[in-house]
Amino acid sequence: MSQPALAAPAAEAASDAVGGGTAYIFNTLLFLIGGFLVMWMAAGFAMLEAGLVRAKNTSTQCLKNIGLYSIAGLMFWVIGYNIAYPNFAENSLGLFGIGGTTYGMQGVGEADLETGYSVASDWFFQMVFCATTASIVSGTVAERIKIVPFFIFVTVLTAVIYPVVVSWEWGGGYLDSVHDFSDFAGSTLVHSTGGWAALVGALIIGPRLGRYGPNGQVNVFPGTNIPLATLGTFILWLGWFGFNGASQLAMGTVGDVSDVSKIFVNTNMAACGGVVATIILTQLRYKKADVTMALNGALAGLVAITAEPLAPSVGQSILIGAIGGVIVVFTVPLLDRLKIDDVVGAIPVHLFAGIWGTLVVALTAAPDSGVTFLGQLVGVLLTMVWVCAASAVVWLALKYTIGVRPSEEIEIAGLDVHETGVEAYPDFARTG
């Protein structure tokens, strides 16, 4: 009688999973859907940034965004993927490696069921994450950087700097093997990496002309199009379901599909928490709600939950996102006091909220996961040291060779005419 009793759970478990070929199809489909949703985030970044810069710089900002996405794709193909997933030697410390062969596309009709998903779908999903990192930098240094040096920096960032960080965790390197570091979808690997690179760039390039006056005066440069920035935020919010949901990496079992749906809910509710927290807090602090803070509150909530969007309860997710929003409200003016000019608030959103989201994983992860606060902190600090050092080398090399800033005359007139030959809103450009 014991045999059927043991067989029943096994039969039930088998019914929860689909066959190898079907699982391959569903897993691949998850990567592809997640990938094109994350690719759509590139449009969100472009619209958010175009809406928050002055009219005289909107064409340049759009050019930067479509250019950086394309450069990221090329660089991740040429070398970035091989650095991110190098197959570290058994006795290697796992800090840097590179694959032995260039990534190769599968042949027409070919499929290796042992991988569980199409290799091409995995590469595409990983590539759009790489592009997201570069988008973060674009918004921070907007309105005072020339196109060519910016694209050169993006080339190095997407070819080497970002892939090295990825290799430490998702590539099975140092953080994964030594410290049990956990970053489900990239609060540190993607968002903090972009945030650190943006911070170093802002420090080396300096603020926009006239942004900071004497005696701590901060001159406000209003964005040209708040509806466009709001649309960009909603596009990013939508894309985040691919960012976090597809990072489950599997959709071949009932459990996997259930987990993806929970990730969607937690991701959404964290953003809601971030928005409501920023609206309430700005109303209390400034006696009026701030729409740009609310937009960044949504993004901060999304960044914060990205490190672990599955394990927390819905209530915990709302709280994690809300604290991300609070971080934005306090760190945006902090940067201004330090005269660090971040045009779109990317450093508070992606760096500071990313750090918060990474550290709180130690409290929300499953008890048997092995995740510790110390391990998470090591991941944050190691990423900081590598990205800041590497970014500083590149930014300084550009500054003292070809230069990164346009002339004062060009910056005052706006980058659009000089960089793109477009002056879409001449009246605004002269006064903006």
Give per-residue pLDDT as tens, 267-317.
Answer: 999 999 999 999 999 999 999 999 999 999 999 999 999 999 999 999 999
What is the pLDDT confidence band of residue 87, given thresholds at 50, 70 and 90?
confident
3-state secondary structure (DSSP) of residue 137 = helix
Chain centroid to CA 38: 10
Looking at residue 299, the DSSP 8-state letter turns out to be H
Distance (Å, rounded) from C-alpha 394 to C-alpha 145?
A: 14
pLDDT of residue 3 exceeding 60: no
Percentage of the chain exceeding pLDDT 90:
81
**Cα distance from N-terminal residue to C-terminal residue, the chain:** 82
Distance (Å, rounded) from C-alpha 165 to C-alpha 231?
A: 31
List of residues 6+ apart from 109 with CB closer than 8 A: none
Q: Which CATH architecture has domain 21-87+117-431?
A: Orthogonal Bundle (1.10)
User: What does the pLDDT read at residue 101?
Assistant: 52
pLDDT of residue 117 exceeding 70: yes
Q: Locate tokens 């979808």: which residue?
A: 185
Give per-residue pLDDT as tens, 374-430.
Answer: 999 999 999 999 999 999 999 999 999 999 999 999 999 999 999 988 875 544 444
Residue 367 contacts residue 196 (beta carbons within 8 Å): no
Task: Give per-residue burial for 277-304: e unless 16+ CB within 10 Å, then b.
Answer: bbbbbbeeeeeeebbbbbbbbbbbbbbb
Instruction: List the one residue out of 10, 302, 24 whose CA is nearest residue 184.
Output: 302
Residue 425 contacts residue 56 (beta carbons within 8 Å): yes
Domain ranges of the chain: 21-87+117-431
Write down the H helix ranges in 307-348.
Answer: 314-337, 346
3-state secondary structure (DSSP) of residue 17 = strand
Kindly report the average pLDDT of the chain as a whole number: 91
The token pair at 224 is 């040209």
Distance (Å, rounded) from C-alpha 27 to C-alpha 40?
A: 20
What is the pLDDT confidence band of residue 2, given thresholds at 50, 70 and 90?
very low
Give per-residue pLDDT as tens, 43-56.
Answer: 999 999 999 999 99
Looking at residue 171, the DSSP 8-state letter turns out to be T
Counts for the chain of helices (H) and strands (E), in that order:
19, 0
Instruction: List the one residue out of 292, 296, 361 whose CA is nearest residue 326.
Output: 296
